[in-house]
Structure 1
Amino acid sequence: MGDASMHSDQTAGGANFTLRDEIKAYWSARAATFDLSPGHEIFSEEERAAWHALIKRHLGPGDGRKALDLASGTGVISHLMDDLGYRVTGIDWSEAMLERARAKAASRGRAIRFQLGDAESTLEADDSYDVIVTRHLVWTLVDPLACFREWLRVLKPGGRLLIIDGDFVNTSLAERLVKRLAAVLERTGAAKAQAPHAPAAMADTHESILSRVHFSAGARVHAVCPMLADAGFSLVMTDTNLRQIHKAQANHFGFLKNLARGLQHRYAIVAQNPTS
């Protein structure tokens, strides 16, 4: 679900293996268990309603407008947009993710179009979407400015971009203490063990990729917003109040892990393609 545009020194099959290839392989390997993790799939109607409220607050109702879900993964955000009446296209560059997204949409009777594509080069027509939404994509980008310019190109004049992301690198002392306490309670059986957010065996791969993307020091609002402006967007607002979503997820994360998420620098950014 991430995207990148930088070469690494690794090789695979005798050819250069780029960081883009590594990211694609990583998320493809995550596809089989992606929807099992709280914070990825929606596990309650309360959480679904909280996401709907966030989207409507910043993008308004769908009313048949065209929406592009970039790095759509298994289609979680695409389904939320479809719920609200948007005509949704989801783009991801992992076929493994897309297979699950298409199967999920078919099982729910949803008319969502999912296609293989690159967030930096979508191959979509100019001025073709009313809204673009991304969740947890920006922190993975190697060339975010190129991506933002591409998103501006396919967004209609006056159209809005909604970025939902966070700084998953820098952790506060309070967050670290809460996470340690949660781990101790799980080990001792005092708290129910939660499903891991990512397989432990892939932790090294994740850290290696993270160290080489553009926002390796953390994708904080003050780093992302100026780059959106450089790409030609006008900033509408930033929103760090995701408490309703975190509250709805609490039953699935457990109190302490959900508290740790609430302490993270998570946000929504709304930007607009200026009207011509």
Structure 2
Amino acid sequence: MHQGNFSLKEEIREYWTKRAETFDQSPGHGIRPGAERDAWAALLDRHMGPAPGARHVLELAFGTGEVTAVLLGLGCDVTGLDLTEAMLLRARAKHANAKHVRLYMGDAEDTREPAGRYDAVVSRHLVWTLVDPAAAFRDWFRVLKPGGRVVIMDGDYVRLSPVGRLRLAVSDWLSARQGATGPAVDRATHDSILSRVHFSGGLRPPALRAMLEDAGFTDFRVEKPSGPHAAQRQGAPLRQRLRIGVWNSFVLSCAKPGA
């Protein structure tokens, strides 16, 4: 691996190691049981599509295992890879008694999984961090069965609309006024990493689709995660509701031809 890429990946690993303890407390990371989990399940079920028997899913960058819980609830057989040991330990503890799940440390850009094994490759909040997404997408194409689908849940964490900036400003003002504190985020490290990944200018569906097409994928579907966002807003204080959906989140899925 190129030394520059290796160094950046080590920084990414260290950043998420520090975030692991409070990861589930951040809006958009933790998934509450009930309406929110059900909304994510409905969305994933649509995008993964049917499969004979239980779906065999490769989940990449599973974090603390929140999406893992949704996939298991759908009856999937899950293999998960994450770059960070701290996340792995939390996810394994969360799913210690679950069947049909195997969680390991691994690199989403070079999974080293067998070719043609999986019905779906699923990720949330991963693609914006990829150093070499073209290599990752080629590998995801390789590990999928013909007809298998990639499901990407992500967003543009760089470019904000004027309304989005206003919503964040009001949210910050309310938090300060109410003395509310959230999980500490090392913004300087976050921004430094963001400036050096492939999608440093922001991740949007058209550019992402073009790269996935180059890797061989077809049958694209894109939508906003409106259902999960609506469920997240239920019962949340105004300062949090203002932040939900502000980052141009999307779900994009596509298929490996040949089913």
Under a length normalisation based on structure 1, what TM-score does the superposition of the two structures give? 0.87
Contact 2:28 2:244 in 1 (8 A): no
CA distance in 2, matches of 1:235, 1:256: 38
The aligned counterpart of 2:68 is: 78
Match of 1:57 among 46, 49, 58: 46
Map 1:26-105 onto structure 2 (within 5 A). Answer: 26-60=15-49, 63-105=53-95
Structure 2 gap segments, 5+ residues each:
none
Structure 1 gap segments, 5+ residues each:
9-16
Residue-by-residue CA offset, 1:213-242 (whole Å, 9 max, x unaligned): 0000000111100000011111421112x2
CA distance in 2, matches of 1:246, 1:141: 25
Q: Rate the CA distance shift 1:256–1:187 in 2: closer, same or farther, 3 A.
A: closer
Q: Which amino acid aligns with 2:89?
A: E
1:188 equivalent to 2:171? Answer no
CA distance in 1, matches of 2:154, 2:131: 15
Q: Rate the CA distance shift 1:5–1:27 in 2: closer, same or farther, 3 A.
A: farther
Match of 1:227 among 183, 192, 211: 211
CA distance in 2, matches of 1:237, 1:219: 16
Share of identical aligned residues, percent?
46
Match of 2:196 among 188, 195, 212: 212
Give 3-state SS (helix, strand or coil) of 1:7's partner: helix
Residue 87 of structure 1 and its aligned partner are, at CA, apart by 0.4
CA distance in 2, matches of 1:195, 1:44: 21
Q: Rate the CA distance shift 1:45–1:6 in 2: closer, same or farther, 3 A.
A: farther
Residue 158 of structure 1 and its aligned partner are, at CA, apart by 0.7
Give 3-state SS (helix, strand or coil) of 2:151's partner: strand
- Aligned CA RMSD, in angstroms, stands at 2.0
Residue 6 of structure 1 and its aligned partner are, at CA, apart by 6.4
The aligned counterpart of 1:264 is: 247
Contact 1:44 1:248 in 2 (8 A): no
1:156 equivalent to 2:145? Answer yes
Residue-by-residue CA offset, 1:125-152 (whole Å, 9 max, x unaligned): 0001011101010000111000000000
Q: Which amino acid aligns with 1:93?
A: L
CA distance in 1, matches of 2:41, 2:124: 14
Match of 2:228 among 245, 251, 264: 245
1:116 equivalent to 2:105? Answer yes
CA distance in 1, matches of 2:60, 2:35: 24
Contact 2:141 2:216 in 1 (8 A): yes
CA distance in 2, matches of 1:264, 1:186: 19
Map 1:165-180 onto structure 2 (within 5 A). Answer: 165-180=154-169
CA distance in 2, matches of 1:248, 1:257: 13
The aligned counterpart of 1:12 is: none
Residue-by-residue CA offset, 1:21-56 (whole Å, 9 max, x unaligned): 100111111111112223112124110111011011
Contact 1:61 1:85 in 2 (8 A): no
Under a length normalisation based on structure 2, what TM-score does the superposition of the two structures give? 0.93
Give 3-state SS (helix, strand or coil) of 1:91's partner: strand
Give 3-state SS (helix, strand or coil) of 2:180's partner: coil
Map 1:103-142 onto structure 2 (within 5 A). Answer: 103-106=93-96, 108-142=97-131
CA distance in 2, matches of 1:21, 1:235: 35
Runs of at least 4 residues of structure 1 off by over 6 A?
none
Q: Which amino acid aligns with 2:227?
A: Q
Q: Which amino acid aligns with 2:68?
A: S
Residue-by-residue CA offset, 1:123-181 (whole Å, 9 max, x unaligned): 10000101110101000011100000000000111101100000010011101111111
User: How many residues in Structure 1 have an aligned counterpart in Structure 2?
Assistant: 258
